[in-house]
Structure formats: structure tokens, C-alpha cells
């Protein structure tokens, strides 16, 4: 895989844009099986949480099983260091936590390196700078080929760039139909620093939003192309020129049992199939403009949704739905990704 260098950014190891299957909150069994299916369909980039996050141990173990059976070279792996505790403000302690966590997680994975290693934010600037320095150590040691950030707002990025030796190649943020193309200007600001955007939250967070799945504009365009609403939502991001890290199910929610886990039928094949055909069809300019004009009311959807309190309108302080759209008793779109 040839390296691509972003202007003013760290070397990026993935041809950009790319599409990654995001294993968020799936069981180890579903992660392993969906990776095999994704690879059969041509989707070989996997974005997963480490075992230090809420359901990350299942994701990590599923990835470890898939790597063991498929071989490390078959997959491009992206993972992230979880947010430090909010009350951790000492940079030395934060750096020590990052080193120990990564040592433990690489041992559990049974591999020597990933392709992209991401840092989640903190409300304390010195903590982010200290943990980023640890990621730079990992890069120098060959444990990662590129570095990036996850849910970094202007505050976070400005802090990081103030001390970083290697700037981030990517920033992973939420972008979906109903938010507008770049309502806060964050994507443009990142681009000005040579940081490339990777979009998660194709259907919204922390659940697949019913208002998105049933939006008349999305539904009409999906019908016109004989595609699913979810496929159109994916295509809007891809055709906008961004890389994508997409959940591979619509059945995710804080209230899902057990412990907010995600579920899918047929090993997430519907979502993986939609991801695999990105680039083989297109929306018209008029359709892209109509989708960009959609605005969804009801729940705040910040591009840095899963950030710390250092960024505005994060999940922790925003009103949000808790029940999966796939299990709603109210009339709703029958998502093909359930």
C-alpha cells in the first residue's frame, strides 16, 4: 500500500478517501465474522476500540481472532487510545497511563503494530499533549504507521499542534445527512492544517436516528436509485470526498442489552455490501445539494459528539435518544441494516 503524504500533516498510510468497517460495540463473534465477510466483499480496513473502553474488549478480541485466521497483512487496522478519566489532569500520569494501556492492548491483540493509531481528547490540554507524545513514541517504535485524532474540536487541535512533533494525519468526526456539509467550519479548519477528515456516524449517534431513516428527501433519492436509505447516506459522505468509518449495523443504542452492545442480522452483510459498492454509483449534483440542505431537528449532533467537556455539545451533556431504531415500537423506517 503506497503512502500518501498530506500537506503539513503526518504521513498517511491509507489511500484517501477510504472506507472502514467500524466494529463499535459488536460482540467478538460478530466482529470476527463481519471482518471475514467484509474482506470477501473487498472491505479490508477495520476501525475498532481497544479493551480499555466500555465494550472494546469484545471488539479487540474479535479483531485478534480475525488477524490470527487471516494473517496481519490481510487487514488495515485503525484503533484509538481511550479518553483518560476526566479527573486525570497530571500530564506525567496521563503519559504513563497511555504507555501501559498500549503495552497491555498490543499484548492482548497478539500483534506488533496497527496501521493508524488515534488519540481521544481530554479537557486538559497538557494531558492531550503528554499522551500525544506517547503516540509519537509508538510511531517511532514502529507500532503505528500514522497517527490521528478522534473527536478533536478547534480547542483540542490547537492544543495538540502547539507542541506536537508529528501532527495528526486524520481527525475522525461525526458527519451525516441532516448536519449540513460543515456547519461549524471544523472540517475546513482541519483541512487548513493538512488534517484529513474521516467521517463516522453515518446514521447519527448514539442511535440510528429515526428522523434520518425516514427523511422524505433521503427516502425519495433512495427509491430513485433503487438503493437503501443507508446506502444513500453513505454515498453522500463518500461523494463529498471524505473517508468513512461506518458502523455496520443500525441496531445500536445505549439501552441495548447487554451493556449498550450493537447487534445485526446476517453478520452485518447488508451494511458491508453497501460499503463495498461505494464508488460504483453516484448521486447527481442536484441530489447532493438536496441532501446537504436537509436539517434534522430534535437532538444536538456535534461533529465532535463523543468528545470530552473541552468541546461543545458532546454526548455527555446533550439530550439524546436511548432506544434503538431497530426495536422501536413506534412506526419507523425498517432499516435494511438492522
pTM of the model: 0.94
- Candidates 136, 141, 146; CA nearest to 78 is 146
CB neighbours of residue 160 within 10 Å: 23
Q: Is pLDDT larger for residue 151 or for residue 1?
A: 151
- Whether 335 is covered by a domain: the verdict is no
Domain that holds residue 123: 4-317
Annotate the chain with three-state secondary structure. Answer: CCCEECCCCCEECCCCCCEEEECCCCCHHHHHHHHHHHHHHCCCEEEEECCCCCCHHHHHHHHHHHHHHHCHHHCEEEEEECCCCCCCCCHHHHHHHHHHHHHHHHHHHCCCCCCEEEEECCCCHHHHHHHHHHHHHHHHCCCCCEEEEECCCHHHHHHHHCCCCCCCCEEEEECCCECCCCCCCHHHHHHHCCCEEEEECCCCCCCCCHHHHCCHHHHHHHHHHCCCHHHHHHHHHHHCCCEEEEECCCECCCCCCCCCCCECCHHHHHHHHHHHCCCCCCCCHHHHHHHHHCECCCCCCCCCCCCCCCCCCCHHHCCCCCCCCCCCCCCCCCCCCC
How many angstroms separate the CA atoms of 140 and 32, rounded? 30
Q: What is the pLDDT of residues 179-237, one digit of tens each?
A: 999 989 999 999 999 999 999 999 999 999 999 999 999 999 999 999 999 999 999 99
How many percent of the chain have pLDDT more than 90? 84
- Whether 264 is covered by a domain: the verdict is yes
Q: How many structural domains are present in the chain?
A: 1
Q: What is the pLDDT of residues 52-77, one digit of tens each?
A: 887 899 999 999 999 999 999 999 99
How many angstroms separate the CA atoms of 37 and 326, rounded? 22
Q: Is the pLDDT of residue 316 over 90?
A: no
- Candidates 264, 256, 258, 234; CA nearest to 246 is 234
- Whether 272 is covered by a domain: the verdict is yes
Give the domain CATH number at 109. 3.20.20.100
Q: What is the mean predicted confidence (pLDDT) over 98-110?
A: 97
- What is the band of 167 on the pLDDT scale with cuts at 50, 70, 90? very high
**Cβ proximity of 280 and 227 under 8 Å:** no
- Whether 32 is covered by a domain: the verdict is yes
- Candidates 115, 35, 107, 98; CA nearest to 275 is 35
**Cβ proximity of 290 and 221 under 8 Å:** yes
- Whether 50 is covered by a domain: the verdict is yes
- Whether 324 is covered by a domain: the verdict is no
- Whether 327 is covered by a domain: the verdict is no
- Whether 311 is covered by a domain: the verdict is yes
CA atoms 230, 235, 240, 241: torsion sign: positive
Amino acid at each position: 500500500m503506497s503512502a500518501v503524504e498530506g500537506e503539513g500533516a503526518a504521513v498517511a498510510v491509507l489511500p484517501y478517501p477510504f472506507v472502514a468497517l467500524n466494529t463499535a460495540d459488536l460482540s467478538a463473534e460478530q466482529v470476527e465474522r463481519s471482518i471475514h465477510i467484509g474482506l470477501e466483499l473487498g472491505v479490508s480496513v477495520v476501525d475498532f476500540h481497544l479493551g480499555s473502553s466500555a465494550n472494546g474488549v469484545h471488539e479487540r478480541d474479535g479483531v485478534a481472532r480475525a488477524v490470527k485466521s487471516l494473517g496481519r497483512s490481510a487487514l488495515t487496522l485503525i484503533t484509538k487510545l481511550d479518553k483518560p478519566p476526566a479527573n486525570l489532569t497530571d500530564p506525567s500520569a496521563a503519559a504513563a497511563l497511555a504507555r501501559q494501556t498500549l503495552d497491555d492492548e498490543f499484548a492482548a491483540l497478539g500483534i506488533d503494530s496497527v496501521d493508524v493509531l488515534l488519540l481521544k481528547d481530554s479537557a486538559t490540554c497538557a494531558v492531550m499533549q503528554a499522551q500525544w507524545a506517547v503516540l509519537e513514541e509508538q510511531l517511532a517504535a514502529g507500532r503505528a504507521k500514522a497517527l490521528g485524532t478522534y473527536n478533536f474540536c478547534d480547542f483540542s487541535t490547537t492544543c495538540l499542534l502547539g507542541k506536537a512533533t508529528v501532527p495528526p494525519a486524520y481527525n475522525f468526526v461525526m458527519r451525516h445527512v441532516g448536519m449540513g456539509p460543515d456547519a461549524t467550519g471544523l472540517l475546513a479548519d482541519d483541512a487548513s492544517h493538512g488534517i484529513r477528515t474521516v467521517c463516522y456516524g453515518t446514521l447519527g449517534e448514539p442511535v440510528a436516528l429515526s428522523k434520518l431513516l425516514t427523511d422524505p428527501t433521503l427516502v425519495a433519492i433512495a427509491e430513485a436509485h433503487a438503493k437503501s436509505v443507508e446506502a444513500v447516506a453513505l454515498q453522500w459522505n463518500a461523494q463529498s470526498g471524505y473517508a468513512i468509518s461506518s458502523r455496520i449495523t443500525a441496531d445500536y443504542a445505549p439501552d441495548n442489552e447487554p451493556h449498550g452492545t450493537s447487534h445485526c442480522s446476517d453478520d452485518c452483510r447488508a451494511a458491508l455490501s453497501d460499503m463495498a459498492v461505494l464508488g460504483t454509483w453516484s448521486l447527481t449534483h442536484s441530489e447532493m445539494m438536496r441532501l446537504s440542505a436537509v436539517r434534522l431537528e430534535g437532538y444536538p449532533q456535534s461533529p465532535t459528539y463523543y468528545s470530552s467537556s473541552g468541546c461543545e455539545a458532546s454526548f455527555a451533556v446533550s439530550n439524546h435518544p436511548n432506544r434503538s431504531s431497530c426495536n422501536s415500537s413506534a412506526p419507523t423506517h425498517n432499516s435494511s441494516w438492522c
